[in-house]
A and B are shown apart, each in its own frame.
Chain A
Amino acid sequence: MSELKLMKGNEALAEAAIRVGADAYFGYPITPQSEVLEYLSREAHARTGMVVLQAESEVASINMVYGAAGTGKKVFTSSSSPGMSLMQEGISYIACAELPCLLVNVNRGGPGLGTIQPGQGDYFQSVKGGGHGDYKMIVLAPSTVQEMADFVKLGFELAYKYRNPILILTDGALGQMMEKVELFSQQDRTFEDLGWNIIGRSNGRDSNVITSLHLKADKMEEINIRLQKKYNEMRKNEVRYETVNCDDADYIIVAYGLVARICQKSAQLARDKGLKVGVIRPITLFPYPEEVINNYADKVKGMFVVEMNAGQMLEDVKLSVNGKVPVEFHGRMGGVVPQPEEILEKLEEKLLGGSK
């Protein structure tokens, strides 16, 4: 039975994790995501028996996730930008060892210790592989508190479907703001012998081993080829996006997460002035909706990318558009959130040659 509640994004995410039957959470406090750990510490164990453990660092958290994910249990962690940087080595190991798990980055403004305000400066880290080696994660970018909850369920499904870490890339505003959220009903915690997981050597088999070490180059290449094949499957099957008023549009704004919502307002303001603007919102940042952007590039006069960074997803839009139409960019950094009017003004200035 679903339930309607008014919740903070971080809390909705934590609540969804309890309801989806997650087995364990390992985390470390960092603003603006600490509510996840706090909420779970309060609620989770008593309700479902979920393990909730505050680790001594993000490095420890991600390695606890690595260990626990090897058992096949449903495990996750969350952090914010500097903490995610600390986790990157572990994420690379998890990706190579092909362990299903869910990661959440409540992106704040950087670089460095930065600020606790929302940011999108971790796009490259999330999408291009922040750790070492050739690996990919499916990256889900919610733009509402509802999606903060829904993507937990989707994320775990995808994690087991592909035996891969899945990242929810959200930001400090979505984590902190309260919205109405429809929560799905409580699911049972389930556990099974998946064949590969380390649960004690049983059924007459030899040992199962979780590792990312393959000392022979040809073996390591073999693993890489297998991983790339899997990532191509993701590219084929898992592209998700939303289009708003794109079909008759002369100009399209491409934005994700919180910014995509703001840009919908900008597009509305534009239409009020008679300017036909649509919005494409990539929901998966990997795999990226290249095809849809490329197709719309045939129909529009220009694309406008808006991000809370110096222009990171911009590169993927340019690759997708492939030179068909001009691609312009507006970005705010360091925790500053762009305003709808400001975005429209920049769009007109950069794509329409300054006409107001």
Chain B
Amino acid sequence: MNEKRMLDDQHFEQMIEEESICTTDNKVYEAPLDALYDTAMHYCPGCGHGVVHRILAEVIEEMGIIKDIIGVAPVGCSVLAYNYLNIDMSEAAHGRASAAATGIKRVLPEKYVFSYQGDGDLAAIGTGETIHTCNRGENILILFINNGIYGMTGGQMAPTTLPGMKSTTSPFGRDVETMGAPLKITDLVAQLPGTAYVTRQSVHKPGNVRKTKKAIQKALEYQKNGDGGTCFVEVVSNCPSNWKMTPVQSNKWMEENMLPFYPLGDLKKPNGKEK
């Protein structure tokens, strides 16, 4: 380690000790949200969940619907979403978030209801609930975070793991001959008459974050107007920890590998209602 680096490290440690990085004049961005608890998230550095939570909270606040929205958290990395989002929420059993959301929406139809689910939750164990919730056209938002891996349990193969992609349960890469091909469930639900708005977005670049935020907002507006069915927003995301990459590498890998397989854009818009 060279001398300059050591000095830098010392300087950095000193900064942290003095908590000088947290002073008002050092802040480059501040926007406290009522819909988000002021607490550290458990998500790994670079993970997309934090960004999606943030923009979801922003939309809720901007639409002024904190009192009127109820969310359902899945089993997976975002199982504790309710620790961050300061809105009424229910945890659900693995895969059953859209069934729980159905139950809530059916008895409180005047409220906004959403489920927040990962790929294992939504597209493996919860496939039946996902398909049938969309097929009934439940007037809810399904927010689907797809990072192609089981994050919480430590990097096992997901229904959306890419062909050849390594995971702890596909250590030699996903062999589609024996393990099946990745399930493009978003394309699948777009075919159902029950869905109103189906889109695939990402949060790996500022421009994409803005687009995803817009998509969530649109979905909630459609829900308010009862514009003909389930809104399904997929966010293609990353998993630096289980992909064994740095956050920057993971976003690059995602762009080069995930996005060609899961192309971004709207798959379905409400009939005649899209301006």
Contacting residues, chain A, for B102 (C-beta < 8 A): 53, 60, 64, 67
Say yes or no: is A295 at the interface (Cβ < 8 Å to chain B).
no
Chain A, 69-110, contact with B by CB distance < 8 Å: what is the 0/1 string? 111010100000000000001100100010000000000000
Q: Tell whether A24 pairs with B106 under 8 Å between CB atoms, given A63-B129, A70-B90, A198-B89.
A: yes
- Chain B, residue nearest A64 (CB): B103
Report whether B100 and A63 are in contact in the complex, using a CB–CB cutoff of 8 Å: yes
Number of interface residues, chain A, beta carbon within 8 A: 38
A208 at the interface (CB under 8 A from B): yes
Is A59 among interface residues, defined by CB-CB distance under 8 A?
Answer: yes
- Given A55-B99, A59-B96, is A64 in contact with B106 using a C-beta cutoff of 8 Å? yes
The reply to whether B99 and A208 contact each other, CB–CB distance below 8 Å, is: no
Query: In whole angstroms, what is the CA distance A53 to B107 when docked?
Result: 11
The answer to whether the Cβ of B209 comes within 8 Å of any Cβ in the partner chain is no
Q: Is B163 an interface residue (CB 8 A)?
A: no
Question: Which chain B residue shows the least CB distance to A59?
Answer: B96
Q: Which B94-127 residues have C-beta < 8 A from chain A? A: 96, 99-104, 106-108, 111
Q: How far is the CA of A51 from the CA of B80 in the complex (A)?
A: 30
Inter-chain CA distance A97–B100, complex, in Å, is: 13
Contact A68 B66, beta carbon cutoff 8 Å: no
Bound: A200/B96 CA distance, A: 21
Query: In the complex, which residues of chain A have a beta carbon less than 8 angstroms from the beta carbon of B70?
Result: 71, 198-200
> Does B93 count as interface, using CB distance less than 8 angstroms?
yes
Docked complex Cα distance between A159 and B111 (Å): 25
A68 to B108, CA, bound (A): 8
* Cα–Cα, bound, A200→B68 (Å): 5
A210 within 8 A of B: yes
State how many residues of chain B have any CB contact under 8 Å with chain A. Answer: 35
Q: Is B67 engaged at the interface, CB distance under 8 Å to the other chain? A: yes
Q: How far is the CA of A23 from the CA of B105 in the complex (A)?
A: 12
Is the CB–CB distance between A198 and B91 below 8 Å? no
CB within 8 Å of A: which B213-254 residues:
none
Q: Which residue of A lies closest to B115 (CB)?
A: A67
A202 to B69, CA, bound (A): 10
* Contact B93 A89, beta carbon cutoff 8 Å: yes
Q: CB of B88 within 8 A of chain A?
A: yes
- Interchain CA distance A70-B100 in the complex, whole Å: 9
**A63 near B108 (CB under 8 angstroms)?**
no
Say yes or no: A209-B90 contact (C-beta < 8 A), given A67-B101, A67-B104: yes
Is residue A66 contacting chain B, with contact meaning CB distance below 8 A? yes
Q: From residue 61 to 88 of chain B, which have CB atoms closer than 8 A to chain A?
A: 66-70, 72-73, 79-80, 82, 85-88
| Interface residue? A206 (CB, 8 A) | yes
Complex formed: what's the CA distance from A330 to B69 in Å?
55
**A211 with B91: CB separation less than 8 A:** yes
User: Is the beta-carbon distance between B96 and A90 smaller than 8 angstroms?
Assistant: yes
Q: A66 CB to closest chain B CB, in angstroms?
A: 6
Residues of A within 8 A of B108 (CB): 71, 73, 199-200
Distance of A198 Cα from B129 Cα, bound (Å): 22
A222 near B: Cβ within 8 Å?
no
Question: Distance in Å from the Cβ of A127 to the closest Cβ of chain B?
Answer: 23
Q: Which of A57, A75, A93, A207 has the most CB of B within 10 A?
A: A207
Interface residue? B92 (CB, 8 A): yes
The residue on A at minimum CB distance from B136 is A53
Whole-angstrom distance between the Cβ of B41 and the nearest chain A Cβ: 15
Question: Which 8 pairs show the lowest CB-CB distances between chains A and B?
Answer: A67-B103, A67-B100, A68-B103, A64-B103, A63-B96, A63-B99, A211-B91, A198-B88
Q: Which residues of A are in contact with B by a Cβ distance under 8 Å?
A: 23-24, 26, 51, 53, 55-57, 59-60, 63-71, 73, 75, 89-90, 93, 97, 198-202, 206-213
Known A51-B107, A211-B90; further 6 A-B contacts with Cβ < 8 A? A23-B107, A66-B93, A66-B103, A73-B108, A97-B91, A201-B86
Q: Enumerate 12 A-B pairs (CB-CB under 8 Å) in ascending A order.
A: A51-B107, A55-B132, A56-B129, A56-B132, A63-B93, A68-B104, A69-B103, A198-B89, A200-B66, A200-B70, A201-B87, A211-B91
